[in-house]
Amino acid sequence: MTNGTGRFAGKVAVVAGGASGIGLAILRGLHREGARVVCGDISQERLDGIAGEFDERVACTRVDVTREAEVEALMALAVERFDALDCAFNVAGASRPGYIVDLAESDWDFTVDLCLKGVFLGMKHAARHMLGRGGAIVNIASLNAHVPMHAGAAYASAKAGVEMLTRNGALEMTPDGVRVNAVLPGLVETPLTRRHFENRAALDAFLARIPAGRAAQPEDIAAPALFLASEEARYVSGASLLVDGGWAVTGYPDMRPFRGRPGWPKPNAGADP
């Protein structure tokens, strides 16, 4: 990412899921561009690891974005510490994959609650501090909002929900000065996608579908996210910005060779004893 331009000087931001990957890249970009930032993350270890990187313009706090009281407190902390809340980035996400016939209800709930409910709560409580005074909300969805993947039904469904939630938020909030937009990343090299990069054959299958010829780095996603929150995007609301190196035009690779076969039906299921 380029050197700071001061686009966010005097602004206050919250980054939910800000201690690693895309969220950390957004946090660094905001800080470099003059913002005061509250970073929330579920991992105290990650928060402790980044605390020394920033000055007093960054406050770090632990938050579980699936718990409403904690998200409400996260947004309130920005106002208490820095007297305002101008932009919020809902980044936290993860997946417990599985074929539909194998997927445990608890794994569906984990993925959908984190990826969709967490964004809903972030939007709700950020907007309560912005309505009538203005602000910007940026949600991190995924290419999988548009493109399904094997063993990814919960994640793709949740991210598709994030895209529609973003549009609905724009419909409701833009008249009161709050812009709501989404970024839809493709393959990004982060701790959560490490397994793809450790499996050369799987990585090659991805890269064969990405016209740009490489995976994104977190900074490649942070830059468009910051644009959408900035004054440069003042007339943009309800948008879904694909940031995928052109991947959406080619389709998703067949991941079954790397996931294995579904576990259901069980071997010999229904056979006579």
Question: Left, alpha or beta for 160 (phi > 0: left; psi -120 to 50: alpha)?
Answer: alpha
Q: What distance in Å separates the CA atoms of residue 38 and residue 102, rounded to the nearest whole number?
A: 39
Strand partners, 212: none
Q: What distance in Å separates the CA atoms of residue 128 and residue 125, rounded to the nearest whole number?
A: 5
Active-site residue (options: 99, 155, 235, 252): 155
Three-state DSSP class for residue 27 = helix
- 155 catalytic, yes or no? yes
Count of positions (residues) in the chain: 273
Three-state DSSP class for residue 106 = helix
The answer to whether 137 and 87 are in contact (CB under 8 A) is yes
The answer to whether 141 and 118 are in contact (CB under 8 A) is no
Residues 6+ apart with CB under 8 A from 265: none
Q: How many CB atoms lie within 10 A of CB 265?
A: 9
Three-state DSSP class for residue 258 = helix
Tokens of 244: 């995928």
Q: How many CB atoms lie within 10 A of CB 167?
A: 17
Report the catalytic residues.
155
